[in-house]
Amino acid sequence: MDINPVIYLDYNATTPVAPEVVNEMLPHFLTAYGNASSRDHIMGWQAQEVVDAARASIAGNLKVNSQEIIFTAGATEAINLLLRGLEIGDKNHIITLKSEHNAILDTCMALESYGMQVSYLDLDKNGLVDLTELEKNITDQTTLVSIMLVNNETGVVQPVKEIAGLCKAKGVPLMSDATQAIGKMPLDIKDLGIDIIVGSAHKFYGPKGVGFLYISDSFAKKLQPVITGGGQEQKRRAGTTNVPGIVGMAKALALASELMQEDKPRIERLRNYFEEHLSKAIEIDIVGEKAIRLYNTSNLCLKNTDSEKVMMAIGNKVAASRGSACSSGKIEASHVLSAMGIADNEALSAIRFSFGRYTTQSEVDKAIELITEAVTRLRVD
């Protein structure tokens, strides 16, 4: 039985914390609450032990070494730590995509004010980077390529193994924002050839306010702290260790990895059912339909409809995200869809629906009904 009055189809924004994760975290709030930096007594020792175990668990799930994981307050902080803290020597050029999360784009724009040169590449109509264009933009001044593994708005999966091979041939490290991929796709970071990734626990049924940076040993020595004031996280990220959050993140990733084979086909079936039945009821375009997409994401352009008005009509019953953002009071087309060459009027009709572990068939059926009713009414009006 569905107990939530709101049909939650915004799992790419955040996920509910899994009950198993809450149970794992509770003792570290109530009884085992020692500071992992307290070196002189057993409660501090025990706290450090569980942090070390969590680090090993996360590293094991990603097929990397424990010392290559640095805990942060989330993916945004991890991105800032990397982009602002990586020693670049005499190189001053970064390559990224116009479709990246704002944590990348805004930080790159801030770095430009300090003299960094940044190339922002377009996508093709399927949401994929042009590898020829990428290769052409790499120069002897390029210090980093940053390309998201799975796009948060469209679910399009970039060919990161090919991108990593290209970067390796050019001697340039590849950073990938893997926030939407971790816990949803099996990932062997070493096999993919990615040098640096970031992740955030609340995208895979863990708590908010905790994440991590993975940086391979070969580049870790070049990373300087951005937050100073303590020797935590191998002297690369100062601040009291978030023991409950780290324990919860490790449990959430372990659980997601364990349930992946069960979750994936069920969620993908619901997503495909949603798209198929909605397309029969109203005219839609599926963004990135011809690309490989993450199985839980559906970005739809609702033809001849304003997505803001649709969400105003259904927002108290269906939680989803518009494919547009409000900037200074002005509604603007999604930068992701614009990077794919989608016209503003079409982009302004886009809504992202994202499905997850707790989505039910009855919720999907009801969402289709509510969206169809709203769009049909608005098109008549």
Question: Active-site residues: which are they?
Answer: 326
* DSSP-derived 3-state class of residue 94: strand
Q: What is the DSSP string of 202-248?
A: GGTTS-TT-EEEEE-HHHHTTB--SS-SS-HHHHTS-S---HHHHHH
CA atoms within a 13 Å half-sphere pointing along the CA-CB vector of 267: 23
Structure tokens, 94: 């970064």
| Per-position b or e across 91-113, b if 16+ CB within 10 A of its CB | bebbbbbebbbebbbebbeebee
Distance CA 86, CA 222 (A): 6
Distance CA 15, CA 182 (A): 13
The structure tokens 């029969």 sit at 280
Structure tokens, 318: 């269906």
> In DSSP terms, which residues pair with 117 in a beta bridge?
93
Instruction: List CB contacts of 117: < 8 A, sequence separation 6 or more.
Output: 92, 93, 94, 141
Q: Using the Cα atoms of residue 293, residue 160, residue 179 and residue 331 in order, give the sign of their dihedral.
A: negative
Q: Do 154 and 287 touch, CB atoms closer than 8 A? A: yes
Element (H, E) at 142: strand 142-146
Q: Do 143 and 278 touch, CB atoms closer than 8 A? A: no
* DSSP-derived 3-state class of residue 160: helix
* DSSP-derived 3-state class of residue 358: coil
